Amino acid sequence: MNTSHRLRSTDKLARTIAAELPRRRPCIEVVDPTMAEVLREKTEWQRLEIAAGMWRSARRMVQAVIAHENPAWTTDQVDREVASRMSHGLV
């Protein structure tokens, strides 16, 4: 996939995320007891797969926002910034 197409394909997601951010209030989220029970019944491997999926989802969201905020950046530049943000500046 070429760079410009990849960046454009994330544009809609970035706009959606950006539109939601200002309206959200900070809150403490607690796991529902029913969901906690479901998670307790999962194997370690299943919980790891869930966490990996959440990580990939978060990475896609961060990537979409960065690409939207920096439309002139190449895919490599966007990916480097994503890595930096996801690692809290360690990369």
CA dist., res. 51 & res. 64, Å (int): 20
The larger pLDDT score, comparing residue 1 to residue 72, is at 72
The answer to the question of residue 63 being in a domain is: yes
Instruction: Show the domain range for 43.
Output: 3-86
User: 6-10, 27-31, 41-45 — which is least confidently predicted?
Assistant: 6-10
Is 91 a domain residue? no
Given this model, what pLDDT does residue 16 score? 72
Q: Is residue 6 over pLDDT 60?
A: no
In-domain check, residue 82: yes
CA–CA separation, 28 vs 30, rounded Å? 6
What is residue 27's predicted lDDT score, i.e. its pLDDT?
Answer: 82
8 within a domain of the structure (yes/no): yes
pLDDT tens digits for range 51-78: 999 999 999 999 999 999 999 999 999 9
* 8 A C-beta contact, residue 68 and residue 18: yes
Give yes or no for a contact between 31 and 81, defined as CB atoms under 8 angstroms apart. no
- What is the separation of C-alpha 57 from the centre of its chain, rounded to a whole number of angstroms? 4
**Amino acid identity for residue 90 in this structure:** L
Instruction: Tally the domains of the chain.
Output: 1
Residue 76 is assigned to a structural domain of this protein: yes
